[in-house]
Amino acid sequence: MKILFLIEELNGGGKERRLTELLKGLSQDVGSLEVYLILSRDSIDYPEILDLPITIHFLESGTNFSLVKKYYLLFNQLKPDVIHSWSYKTSFYASILKPFFSYRLISGFVGDTFGLKKAEAFVAKYVIYKKSDAIISNSQSGLNAYKCPTLKSHVICNGFDTDRISSKDNKCLESIGVTTPLTVLMLANVTPFKDYQLFIDVAKHVISIRDDVTFISIGKILPEFQNIADPYIDNRHPKIKFLGFRDDTADLIKDGDLGLLCTYTEGVSNAVIELMANQIPVITNDQLGASRELIDNNVDGVICSNADIFRKTLYLLNDVNTRKKMGKSARFKILNSFSLDRMVDRYKDMYLNEYKKIEGK
């Protein structure tokens, strides 16, 4: 069975991490699968992908028309059985080309709960959803927000690779200038989709009350948000630190105490899963997004309003017993309900089911 994965690039985002983990899992079954990854930008923040037994094609970027032509030529050359698209644009391209081929199309661009603008929603309804054989999201909230057709929609939760839980004993946080006994972590790119101003406000409020806490942001800083991050990069602030994208995140967060996710709306966050797997409970203001499909409020984390996020943060910093109890519950949930093997198996079952529907297979 030939499977083509379509995405623009593999930068340091959540869906890119999810795709990377899926490809790593599928690579264990090279005997029955031929896996191809097609990128339209030469940008890879997960270099481990280059060591996998998969074939990667880089398409030169261009106009929509030129990209459609390039995809057509590549599809004609590879003759895929299943195409799994991971972005709105690649889902659109694969949809309009589907009448020329016999592949089954799985659209997997729904990874948040923002929904679509009016024009995009029209194209999704009458082109992408119509031509797709299945639509996948990592949350029911995402499917609802994007108004995906019920009969074609499926939820496959994120899978966490337990190998990412660091076994290092050295104090990695000390190596980046953190000297306080407590740390609060936000693992998220600095983008318009995250409320980093709220993160900074909470940090300033907490450190004005107690001097034993450092707030750390780990995630790529988009150029247009550099002004927000500038006062806190390169150890310019003793208690608030923006580290940017790091390939040693697993080692750094190992000694963390509490997670924050300040956002506007959220899908099922890989970052929250990683913190929970490391016994770090997370506080988030994502009341309407998919965090409620991941966090049991006041059991293994906290979901609260913007007005309450400072009070909840201070409460869990003060109450070590509750914080550790939540952390243990969080780790138990991730290891039992969000395993990588479970995610990979569900995707493989879907690919096989779609493959069987191809006439003559």
Domain ranges of the chain: 2-159+340-356, 166-337
For residue 214, pLDDT over 90 is answered with yes
Which residues, including other chains, have CB under 8 Å from residue 313's CB and lie 6 or more apart? 184, 202, 206, 258, 260, 283
163 confidence band (pLDDT: 50, 70, 90): confident
For residue 169, pLDDT over 80 is answered with no
Average pLDDT over residues 123-152: 97
Output the pLDDT for position 347.
97
Average pLDDT over residues 90-100: 97
Helix (H) or strand (E) segment spanning residue 140: helix 140-145
For residue 218, pLDDT over 80 is answered with yes
Output the pLDDT for position 64.
85
Please report where in the chains the tokens 């198996």 appear, as a residue: 345
Query: Average pLDDT over the chain, rounded to whole?
Result: 94
Alpha carbons 290 and 139: distance in angstroms, whole number: 6
For residue 172, pLDDT over 90 is answered with no
The DSSP-derived string for 41-88 is S--BS-GGGGGSS-EEEEPPP--HHHHHHHHHHHHHHH--SEEEE-SH
For residue 190, pLDDT over 90 is answered with yes
30 confidence band (pLDDT: 50, 70, 90): low
- Render pLDDT for 255-264 as a digit per residue (tens, 0 to 9): 899 999 999 9
Average pLDDT over residues 45-54: 91
Output the pLDDT for position 226.
94
Average pLDDT over residues 198-213: 97
For residue 66, pLDDT over 80 is answered with yes
For residue 330, pLDDT over 70 is answered with yes
> From 2.60.40.10, 3.30.930.10, 3.40.50.2000, 3.90.1150.10, which CATH number describes the 2-159+340-356 domain?
3.40.50.2000
300 confidence band (pLDDT: 50, 70, 90): very high
- Render pLDDT for 303-317 as a digit per residue (tens, 0 to 9): 999 999 999 999 999
Average pLDDT over residues 184-213: 96
28 confidence band (pLDDT: 50, 70, 90): confident
Alpha carbons 161 and 262: distance in angstroms, whole number: 24
Output the pLDDT for position 343.
95
Average pLDDT over residues 149-170: 88
Domains 2-159+340-356 and 166-337 share a fold: yes
For residue 116, pLDDT over 80 is answered with yes
Return the C-alpha torsion angle 302, 271, 41, 97, nearest 10: -60
Output the pLDDT for position 217.
97
Q: Domain 166-337 belongs to what architecture?
A: 3-Layer(aba) Sandwich (3.40)
φ/ψ of 37, rounded to 5, equals: -120, 125
Alpha carbons 239 and 90: distance in angstroms, whole number: 42
Coil vs helix vs strand at 281: coil
170 confidence band (pLDDT: 50, 70, 90): low
Output the pLDDT for position 150.
97
**Cβ-based neighbour number of residue 133 at 10 Å:** 18
For residue 191, pLDDT over 70 is answered with yes
Query: Model pTM?
Result: 0.89
Alpha carbons 361 and 355: distance in angstroms, whole number: 7
